[in-house]
Structures are given as C-alpha cells and as structure tokens.
Amino acid sequence: MQGGEIAPLLPPLRGRISQHAPLGPRSWFRVGGPAEVLVQPADAEDLAAFLAALPLEVPVLTIGAASNLIIRDGGIAGVVIRLARGFTDITVEEDGLVAGAACLDMTIAETAAEAGLAGLEFLAGIPGSLGGAVAMNAGAYDSDTAAVLDWAEIVTREGALVRVENAKLRFGYRHSALPPGAVVVRARLRAIPAPRETVASRIAEIRAAREASQPVRARTGGSTFRNPDAVLSSKKAWALIDEAGCRGLTLGGAQVSEKHCNFLLNTGAATAADLESLGEEVRRRVRAATGVQLDWEIKRIGRPSAAGRTAPGAGDPA
C-alpha cells in the first residue's frame, strides 16, 4: 500500500499528518528511511478518534523517542504514530505522579526529585520516553517500570481509550502484554516522599555512572542485546561480546563501542543496514565463541533498502 493509496483513507486529525516524513533525524542512531505517513495527534481523544476511523487494514506503528530503534533504510510502510506536545503533561501527587507518554524518562525522574519523591531515580538512566518504558518494561540501576507502575492508559487499535492496571500488563524482562497495536498515552507511577537532596543525589550518581560507562555522547541506542537468562549464562551480554573479540568491531560506518561493547555506534556515515549487519555478526561470533545466542533488545523496524546489505537474521521479528 503506497502513500497515494493511504491518503484517501486517512481520517481527519486535529494534530499533524505528514507524508513521506523523514525519520532518520528523529532516531538516536540518525539512520533510517521515511514514514509513509507520520501522524502526530493533538491529544488522546484526537488519537482515539483517528484510530477508530482508520481502516484496520492500514498498518500502524508507534515510535517514541526512537532511542532503542534501528529504523531500516527503506522506511516504514503505513501510518507511523509519534506522540508529542499533547502528551507531555506531568501531574505530581502525594505518592506518585501521572505523566504523558511522550515525557522523557529523565524529565520524570527530575520532576519527582523536585517534588521530594523517591523511587523513580532509575529513570534517569534510561534514554527514552514513558510510553516506550511501559511498552518494553524498561529498567536500569536495580529497578524497572513494572516495579513502580500503577496503571497505564492506552488507545487500542480500534480507537478505545482504556485504563489498564499493572497486573493486566503481565510484565516480564523487557516485555509487557500490551494489546497489539495499542498506544500508551499516559501512566501513573508510584513514589515515596523523601528529602529532595537525597533524591537529587541519587540521580546525580546514576547520571555520572552512565556517563562513565556508556557512549552517551555518540550516535547510538540503548543496550543492543538482552542479557541472557541466568540458566544459559552467568555473564551479561557485554561480557560475552567482549569474550568473542567484538569490542571495536566495525562494518561500514557502524562500530561496536570500545567503551561499552553492548552498544552499537554510527561513526558518522553508517546506514541502518550497517548497524543491523554488524549486530548480526556480533551474534554469530558470540554464539561461535560461547555457545550463547544473544537476542536483540533494540527494535529493528521497517523495510530494508533495495540497495542495502542484507543481514543474516534481518527478517527476525522486530
């Protein structure tokens, strides 16, 4: 289905609709082709009305801060939803806060600190937005989203606005059981009153630790591969990658970070195909050296470019 075929099917929107919208500049890796149609709704009601009227045969994909995505060079077919200004409000409550899905995790952590609320400091170590954190149960520094979430409000693919309690999301490691096609629009996070200085100090520690151990100033994403189940290996993904001799490995404009080898880098001229192919080569070498099959944590979405390299395993579900 090409843009010319989708356009007549698009319902009215109070927000913004753009055809053939570049996505590479929105990605932390700075790679990837365009969205066939990019939809930026004004608010949750606007999104719900749009999806309710959009024919179900039109493919829909939601992206957030695009910090953990490789957007393939051929771009994304169908409708891409990206939440922006209408989804950034934060309401502070006595024992937590309610935030829009487009709020950056760091902003939530800092807002909680200013309000004297503890328990959300770990979000300062996650380079993403709240919607993505809920969808993938993002975690770092000894906590995760499942540990602090009370409920999330979602808009289903059929256009219903629904509140879902924590237990219904059946959180697992980097996983939640959101209904297919659902878009997180708002969530409530629990917190505990605490001295502001104590919370701010913990956030400063997390930021310093992240700066010291991760290539935070490079064109990169989050952790590339999931840590394997303890039954399979007692070692974390980075240690297995290092053991397989992949630290600093390059392919085209892509490189395995020297600083933290579970991060891939765009050194300046990488394509999405470079990054994905390098990731698959890392997986191959780790399996050959250690017997452990690493699973992707970064999501790979969209279509390869006809001119791009074909990565073994590139057809794996993103």
CA distance linking residue 62 with residue 60, whole number of Å? 7
Task: Write down the catalytic residue from 121, 297, 300, 309.
Answer: 297
CA distance linking residue 18 with residue 174, whole number of Å? 31
Residue 223 is among the residues annotated as catalytic for this protein: yes
DSSP assignment of 199-255, as one string? HHHHHHHHHHHHHHHS-TTSEE-S-SBPPPPTTT-SS-HHHHHHHTT-TT-EETTEE
Residue written as tokens 């328990």? 119
Assigned token pair, 39: 């939809």
Residue 67 is among the residues annotated as catalytic for this protein: no
Q: Are residues 47 and 183 in contact, defined by beta-carbon separation less than 8 angstroms?
A: yes
Q: Are residues 284 and 251 in contact, defined by beta-carbon separation less than 8 angstroms?
A: no
Beta bridge mates, 63: 82
Residue 163 is among the residues annotated as catalytic for this protein: no
Q: Are residues 183 and 81 in contact, defined by beta-carbon separation less than 8 angstroms?
A: yes
Task: Write down the catalytic residue from 223, 257, 280, 283.
Answer: 223
Task: Write down the catalytic residue from 72, 82, 174, 285.
Answer: 174
Backbone torsions φ then ψ of 71, nearest 5 degrees: -90, 115
Active site residues: 174, 223, 297
